[in-house]
Amino acid sequence: MSLTYRQPGVVLTDRRFTVPLDHDDPAGESIELYAREVVASDKAGQDLPWLVYLQGGPGFGANRFVGKPAWLGRALKEYRVLLLDQRGTGHSTPANRQTLPLRGGPAEQADHLARFRADAIVRDCEAIRPAVTGGAPWTVLGQSFGGFCTVNYLSTAPEGLSAAIVTGGLPSLDAHADDVYRAAYPRVERKVTAHYERYPQDVDRARQIAEYVLQHEPVLPGGYRLTAEAFQSLGILLGGSEGSHRLHFLLEQAFVRTPQGTALSDAFQEEVQSLLSYASHPLYALVHEAIYGQDSRPTAWSAERVRAEFPQFDAAKALAGDGPLLFTGESVHPWMFDCDPALRPLRETAELLAARTDWTPLYDPARLAANEVPVAAAVYHDDMYVDTAHSLATARAIRGLRTWVTDEFEHDGVRAGGPRVLDRLLALTRDEA
C-alpha cells in the first residue's frame, strides 16, 4: 500500500514496483524498485503529465529533496515527478557487500551485477511506466549517468518518451573506456591547475599531506586505509560548482599538533572517510567502467592502465621533484578494493567484471539518427566528468537534439543552477528558445 505524506509545498507518495531481475526471463527472479512520487501541494488533485528523473552515478539513489529545491520546483509547475531509485540503489533491492553473497561466489555476483547497466534500468522504466502513467509516455530527465540511460532509452524504447532532457550526460556512442580516460586525465589536470591558481597555498598543503600519507599510511576512523592515491582521488570534488572551495577548506584543516608530533586532525580524517568511502554506493565502484563496455573488449581497469600514460599523476614522482601534486577525478581503481572496507569483500567480483568480454551495445546509432522524440541537452564546457567533444559528437548523431553549451556551470549545473537549467532545456524541446 502506498504511503502519502507532506513536506513544505509538496505531497509525496512512496511507490514500490516488482520487475524481473532479467527482463529476458520475465518468469524468473524478480527485484523491487522504489520511487518517490512528488507533486506540488496546490496541484495534488490535478491530472498532470509525468517526468521521471534518472540520477547520476551509477550506483546512487535519487535525490532526497526537502520541499522544492534545485530543478524540482520548476518541474512541479507542470509535472508529477517520479524520483526513481535505480535497481540496486536507495530503497530498491540492494546490491552490496552484505547482500551479494546471497548470490553465491564472485562469479555469480559478477553475473548478477552485469544486469545493472543502463539497458536494464531503461527496461525497468518501461516495465513500471504503465502503472505510473496509465500507459502514456513521459518526459525523462537524465543527469550524468542518467543521461547515458536516456540515450539508451532513445535507442531502445523511444515510444515511451514524450520528451528527453539530458544534463551533463551525453555519452560517446562507441568509445571504449580507454578512450574515455585518455580524454579525461588532461581535463582533470586543467581543473587541478585552476584550483591551485585560485588557492596557491594549497600547492604546499597538498604536498605536505601526501608526504605524511606516504610515510604513515593512516587508517581512518571507519577503517579506510588512506594511501597517496586515495588522497589524490579527492580531486573528484573539482567537478562540482563548489568543489574547489570544498577541497580548499578540507586541506586547510589537515594537521594538528599533538604530544607525539604533527598528525592528521580528527576533523580531516572524518571528512575524508565520508568522501572516499563507497559504503553508501558500492555499485559506483563495481560497475563504473562497465557503463562503457559495448563489445568483446574488457574494460580491464581502464582508468588505472591509462593513468600510467600520464606520469605527472604519479604522487611519488611529484613529491621527488618540485612540481605540484595532481589530484585525480572520477575514476575507479583496483586499489580502492583494498583500501575501502565496504569494497574489500568484493575485490574478486570486481576483477571478474573488469575481465568480462560479453558486453552488449548500449546505443543504436541508426535509431538515434531517425529519432523523433524532442531532445535537449546541457553540455557543460570542459565538464570534468563527461568529455565535451564526445558529448557534442553524440549530439550531432541524434536527430533533432538541441544543445545548450555553457561554461556557466560545472557538472552539477542542474542542481547549482536552480530552475534555470531545466527551464531552458524544456524550452528547447518545445522550440521556444
CATH classification at residue 121: 3.40.50.1820
Q: Which residues are catalytic?
A: 144, 358, 411
**Ranges assigned E (strand) in 279-406:** 375-380, 402-406
- The arithmetic mean of pLDDT across residues 183-212, rounded, is 98
- 202 and 233 housed in the same domain: yes
Question: Would you state the pLDDT for residue 394?
Answer: 98
Q: In degrees, to the nearest 5, what angle opens at C-alpha 414 toward C-alphas 190 and 388?
A: 40
Question: Would you state the pLDDT for residue 418?
Answer: 85
Range of the domain at 183: 177-354
195, 238 contact by CB (below 8 A): yes
Domain boundary among 334, 354, 374: 354
107, 145 contact by CB (below 8 A): no
- 154 and 246 housed in the same domain: no
Q: Residues 326-355, buried b or exposed e (16+ Cβ, 10 A)?
A: bbbbbbbbeebbebbbbbebbeebbbbbbe
**Ranges assigned E (strand) in 252-299:** 255-258, 261-264
90: left (phi over 0), alpha (psi -120 to 50) or beta: left
**Tens of pLDDT, residues 289-337:** 999 999 999 999 999 999 999 999 999 999 999 889 999 988 999 999 9
What distances in angstroms separate CA 115 from CA 181, 263, 359, one per listed residue?
Answer: 24, 44, 10
- 199 and 158 housed in the same domain: no
- 284 and 416 housed in the same domain: no
Q: In degrees, to the nearest 5, what angle opens at C-alpha 300 toward C-alphas 297 and 302?
A: 100
Domain boundary among 313, 334, 354: 354
- Strand, coil or helix: 49: coil
Query: Which residues lie closer than 8 Å to 99 by C-beta, 6 or more apart?
Result: none
- The arithmetic mean of pLDDT across residues 106-132, rounded, is 98
Q: What is the pTM of this model?
A: 0.97
CA dihedral 165, 166, 167, 168 (to 10 degrees): -170
Q: Which helix (H) or strand (E) holds 423?
A: helix 419-429
**Tens of pLDDT, residues 408-433:** 999 999 999 989 999 999 999 999 98
Pick from 123, 167, 161: nearest CA to 143: 167
Instruction: Please state, in angstroms and rounded to a whole number, the distance separating the CA atoms of residues 273 and 205.
Output: 19
- Strand, coil or helix: 13: strand
Question: Would you state the pLDDT for residue 353?
Answer: 98
Instruction: Please state, in angstroms and rounded to a whole number, the distance separating the CA atoms of residues 113 and 115.
Output: 5
284, 278 contact by CB (below 8 A): yes
- 295 and 397 housed in the same domain: no
pLDDT at 1 exceeding the cut of 70: no
- The arithmetic mean of pLDDT across residues 393-422, rounded, is 96
Instruction: Please state, in angstroms and rounded to a whole number, the distance separating the CA atoms of residues 202 and 160.
Output: 49
Question: Would you state the pLDDT for residue 55?
Answer: 97
**Cis amide linkage into residue 311, ω under 30° from 0:** no
- 189 and 228 housed in the same domain: yes
What is the domain count for the chain? 2
- The arithmetic mean of pLDDT across residues 155-177, rounded, is 97
Q: Residues 255-289, buried b or exposed e (16+ Cβ, 10 A)?
A: beeeeeeebbeeebbebbbebbbbbebbbbbbbbb
- 103 and 117 housed in the same domain: yes
Share of the chain above pLDDT 70, in %: 100
- 28 and 106 housed in the same domain: yes
